[in-house]
């Protein structure tokens, strides 16, 4: 069966520090991968998605970047965090572009 | 913004009652999906309804879709305390989902 992992679960970082969040999927190959951010009590905002290694689509201009160095690995990064980067970051995968998505447990990021 | 809207934003009912949540969307869709999120957790897929379908059932869940009105509804029958969660609709576009703001459902014992 397929599983999706995210780490860390929680993170507290000072403003101006770098960020690296990792997401890995097991039990499938060539998944579509997604990064979302969720503000408290709000819906999900799509940040990046990838349909293959090295293929990244950015949805919102911002302080973040994404990379997909391996088929089942998706990384969200920032060189210098802003207070507004605080939120709940969710990684998801889907077997194709037109079906249900499967979400990881999320990372709670607090920028202080 | 392409985000749709959900109504109501919050709903509180007694255990055993039915809960209905509504979703309006803005674009032409391939399908519309509903997800549940327990507090502080990831989302769980509940049901997918395609643009050529009008109604779909899964256990105690019933979803309807009206493409002429660009709207969908999720009905949870015979609610249980464990149904307490946030519920999101998501419209399927090309390669990506656009989520609504969600309905916070509370089931009171």
pLDDT of residue B93: 79
Partners of residue B44 in chain A, C-beta under 8 Å: 103
Nearest to A6 by CA among A108, A101, A111, A110: A108
For residue range B59-107, list pLDDT tens digits in order.
999 999 999 999 999 999 999 999 999 999 999 877 789 999 999 999 9
Closest-CA residue of A relative to B85 is A41
Superfamily of domain B5-108: Immunoglobulins (2.60.40.10)
For residue range B1-50, list pLDDT tens digits in order.
456 688 899 999 999 999 999 999 988 888 999 999 999 899 999 999 99
8 A C-beta contact, residue A35 and residue A44: no
Half-sphere exposure of residue B75: CA atoms within 13 angstroms, side-chain side: 11
The residue ranges of every structural domain in chain B are 5-108
Please state the rounded mean pLDDT for residues A60-79.
92
Mutation site for B-interface testing, chosen from A30, A48, A51, A100 by largest number of B Cβ within 10 Å: A100
> Which residue segments constitute the domains of chain A, with CATH numbers given?
3-111 (2.60.40.10)
Partners of residue B96 in chain A, C-beta under 8 Å: 34, 46, 49, 59, 97
Closest-CA residue of B relative to A97 is B95
The CA distance from A34 to A48, in Å, is 6
Of A24-28, A85-89, A94-98, B67-71, the poorest mean pLDDT is in A94-98
């Amino acid at each position: 069966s397929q599983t999706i992992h995210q780490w860390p679960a929680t993170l507290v970082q000072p403003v101006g520090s770098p960020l690296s969040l990792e997401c890995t999927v097991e039990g499938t190959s060539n998944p579509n991968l997604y990064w979302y951010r969720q503000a408290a009590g709000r819906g999900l905002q799509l940040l990046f998605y990838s349909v293959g290694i090295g293929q990244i689509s950015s949805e919102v201009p911002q302080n973040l970047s994404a990379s997909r160095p391996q088929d089942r690995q998706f990384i969200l990064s920032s060189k210098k965090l802003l207070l507004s980067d605080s939120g709940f970051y969710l990684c998801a995968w889907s077997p194709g572009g037109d079906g249900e998505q499967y979400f990881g447990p999320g990372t709670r990021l607090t920028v202080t | 913004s392409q985000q749709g809207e959900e109504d109501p934003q919050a709903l509180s009912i007694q255990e055993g009652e039915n809960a209905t949540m509504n979703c309006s969307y803005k674009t032409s869709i391939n399908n519309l999906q509903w997800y549940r999120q327990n507090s502080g957790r990831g989302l769980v897929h509940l049901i997918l309804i395609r643009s050529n379908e009008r109604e779909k059932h899964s256990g105690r869940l019933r979803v309807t879709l009206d493409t002429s009105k660009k709207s969908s509804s999720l009905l949870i029958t015979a609610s249980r305390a464990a149904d307490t969660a946030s519920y999101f609709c998501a419209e399927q576009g090309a390669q990506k989902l656009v989520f609504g703001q969600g309905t916070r459902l509370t089931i009171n014992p």
